[in-house]
Amino acid sequence: MVSIIIPVYNLETLIKRSVDSVKAQTVEDWELIMVNDGSGDSSGKVCDAIANTDPRIHVLHGKNAGAGAARKLGVAKAKGEWVLMLDGDDVLPPTALEQFLSKATDDVDIIVGSVRRCTDKGNYPHLMEQSRTLSGKEYIKALLNYETSVGPWAKLMRRSLFLNGQWIPHRRITHFEDLLMLVSVAGEARKVVIDNDLKVYDLIYRPEGVSHNMTMTFEGWYRMFNGISRFADEETALLFKLHRLYDGCITNGVEFDYSNPEIQCIVKDAQRYKLRGHDRLIYYMLHSKRLRRYVANRHKDVRPVSGAVKVSVVMSAYNEAKSIEKAMRSVLQQTFRNIELIVVDDASTDDTIEVIRTIAAVDGRVKIIRHEENLGLSAARRSGWENAVGDYVQFMDGSDTLNPMAIEHMYSKAKMSGAEIVVMGSQRSSRLLGLKIPYFIPSRVLKHSAVLTQELIPMILGRHGFSYSLVDKLFLREVLTKVNPLAESIFHGEDLLTTVRIFNHKFEIAHTDYVGYNWRMGGRSTSLNYDQQWEADKNLYDLSISLLDELNIKTAENVKAVAKGLADSFLSNVAQYLSNPFCSREKLKKSLGEQLNDSIWAVVLPVLNEEDYVNIRNKNVDELILQCYKKYKASRLFYTAMLFMKYI
């Protein structure tokens, strides 16, 4: 017989659906135990009424103590050989028990199936993992390394595993209580079967949980850590503690004192092991003084404590199915929680919108806007900020990511300085090299804590010195409303023109050197071949000159900056072409000969007298290639040094 345990908390309108799914099972040898966990509504009466309809259904009533305690009470009253946990707002497919029992051989103690996510917007594919057979100890290690599902769902367990008294739920353990239950019973398991072909559980997403949300105190964390240590080997338990400690204070905003001696002991214990990769990074971060100061000050006034949206993140996406989930999660896991994420799908032709909807289904801070036709990057951003409700707006591309404290750093700088715009540091992520390459550090340009934006226009027009991108900046929403900068969509250079329009007004800009934005090389922008890049750069030059006329800022300094931007981009494109080992030198020489004779140089070169442009002026193709090759070699030396620093 299978004993099905359902903890019930304020589920008066939902519990009947779950019970009906149990009654519909093709296997009839079961009992259902509903545990009313001190519900504040009429759930208890509903459960009693349901129990009167079937002798296999039983109801237990208790004070609110959390889902873990409710499940333990149910197991104590169970009589079946097997135990299955079911949440009161989820359902079982009709053949769930039949599928489970088909794998129930004499030497198997735990059977793990797959879970399907269901929302009011539709059902999503079952959560898949590697099908395999493990020992109990191996299963514990997989759980603590998050290599398998750590929820209580879709798991059939022998009741005898619970009789050793090792599982002791505690009210103060409000995080990872299900994981602690699984770890405590898995130690006695002889064999654990994980089979993805078992479609046995439908997880229904809704805003409320089984029991009310409770902030876990440090005592709760410490009890949870001690519980894990009782059942796992020392190194596995230690790595779990390190990761959860980092997640608790950085990702999830759990409030506890990092200076606590027990926490310090966990970090120091890690010195006994050779940590690698992400484990080593987390260890060093938990040791850093900067992190300690952050944890000590994270709940001060610069961090909003009300539920109001303070920052709206506008993410544009076009055919980003492979990267959009990582981008969205980097926003939703920010240490600054009072945000909304507006994702604008610009008529993608791949599965981008499905990925977006899946994530939005489990986080109410996500808004979705979908264009019926592709309107371009500027139009996507406009759709986003026009629907924003936050005091501040940050733009982002669907191929990029934010570091965990990016928004918190910019918001606190904005509030403390009073500046309308804040710019942060950024870096480019190279998947090929496995490197994050520094791109822009504001303090190298902004020597003072705050300057007027008009002072930066020459550097922006010249495409050097100051980042002209929109994505590494936080804007007061009133700035965008006042300037209305996103007027047109063009193929190349939208950010430069938009930034100049904004910066032509007398706004104050502040900066933080926190490197918070990660550009992924080869993101949304369509890759251009060498000749197409030249045509795009010329078009951007013409648009920039027109913008100077439009804004009445066509000074000699700004005209030279635009000309310098075109010439520098021309040289950079040649160097980038030379970095391709399969490039054709003959084809490059032919293209260079045509481009150096372009009529645009007659306008550009007279305002440029720097030595860097002498080969352009003399139309010397061979010397120009040699000059750009030296530039490429210098950049390759830089990347080699970066790789060396990464692995020493």
Q: Which CATH number goes with the domain that contains 409?
A: 3.90.550.10
Residue 596 parent element (H or E): helix 585-596
Closest by Cα among 156, 186, 137, 153 to 87: 153
What is the mean pLDDT of the segment spanning 288-312? 54
DSSP letter for each residue of 165-180: S-----TT--SSHHHH
Residue type, 462: G
Residue with the bigger pLDDT between 620 and 527: it is 620
Amino acid 49 reads A
- Please check whether residues 59 and 31 belong to one and the same domain: yes
The answer on 581 and 610 residing in a single domain is yes
Examine the fold and report which residue of 275, 297, 319 is the final residue of a domain before the chain moves on.
297
In a domain, 609, yes or no: yes
Least confident of 122-131, 332-341, 443-452: 443-452
pLDDT at 500 over 50: yes
Same domain, 176 and 32: yes
Backbone angles phi, psi at 395, to 5 degrees: -95, 155
Say which amino acid occupies 248. G
**Residue (of 58, 6, 60, 18) closest to 38 by Cα position:** 60
Does residue 215 lie within any of the structural domains? Answer: no
The mean pLDDT of 27-39, rounded to a whole number, is 94
Is position 257 within any domain?
Answer: yes
Taking only Cα atoms into account, the Rg of the chain, rounded to an integer number of angstroms, comes to 30
Domain stop point among 455, 485, 520: 520
**What mean pLDDT, rounded, does the chain reach?**
78
Reference 577, options 534, 620, 523; nearest CA is 534
Tokens of 110: 């735990």
Q: Could you tell me if 287 and 322 lie in one domain?
A: no
- Helices of type H across 199-273: 218-231, 234-246, 261-269
**Residue 80 scores a pLDDT above 90:** yes
Do 315 and 269 belong to one domain?
no
> Residue 129 falls within a domain, yes or no?
yes
C-alpha torsion angle, residues 43, 45, 46, 48 (rounded to 10): 120
Q: Of 187, 290, 289, 288, which is closest to residue 232 (Cα–Cα)? A: 187
For residues 478 and 361, membership in a common domain is answered with yes
The set of residues, in sequence order, having a beta carbon less than 8 Å from that of 150 and lying 6+ positions away, is 143, 176, 178, 179, 182
Dihedral sign (CA 14, 15, 16, 21): positive
pLDDT at residue 251 tops 60: no
- My answer on whether 397 and 462 are in the same domain is yes
* 3-class DSSP state of 135: coil
Span of 79-88, 184-193, 583-592 with lowest mean pLDDT: 583-592
The pLDDT of residue 30 is 96
Which residue, 582, 580, 586, 571, is CA-closest to 617? 571
Asked whether the predicted pLDDT for residue 647 surpasses 50, the reply is no
Pair 415, 501 in one domain: yes
Task: Check whether residue 82 and residue 143 sit in a common domain.
Answer: yes
Q: Measured between alpha carbons, how far is 501 from 504 in angstroms, rounded to an integer?
A: 5
The domain in which residue 184 lies consists of 2-204
Q: What percent of the chain has pLDDT over 70?
A: 71
- For position 17, what pLDDT does the model report? 94
Residue 363 within a domain: yes
Residue 212 is assigned to a structural domain of this protein:
no
pLDDT for 2 equals 96
| 528-573: pLDDT as tens digits | 466 677 887 888 788 788 878 877 888 888 888 888 888 888 888 7
What's the pLDDT at 615? 85
In whole angstroms, what is the distance from residue 3 CA to residue 26 CA? Answer: 15
What six digits make up the tokens of 485?
């900068």
If one counts every other C-beta atom within 10 angstroms of the C-beta of residue 571, the result is: 17
Among 487, 520, 553, the domain-final residue is 520
In a domain, 213, yes or no: no
Number of domains in the chain: 4
Residues 271 and 195 reside in one and the same domain? no
Residues paired with residue 519 on neighbouring β-strands, in sequence order: 428
Closest alpha carbon to 407 in 344, 497, 321, 315: 315
User: What is the rounded distance in angstroms from the CA atom of residue 419 to the CA atom of residue 434?
Assistant: 36
Tell whether 560 and 483 lie within a shared domain: no
244 shares a domain with 154:
no
Asked whether residue 216 is domain-assigned, the answer is: no
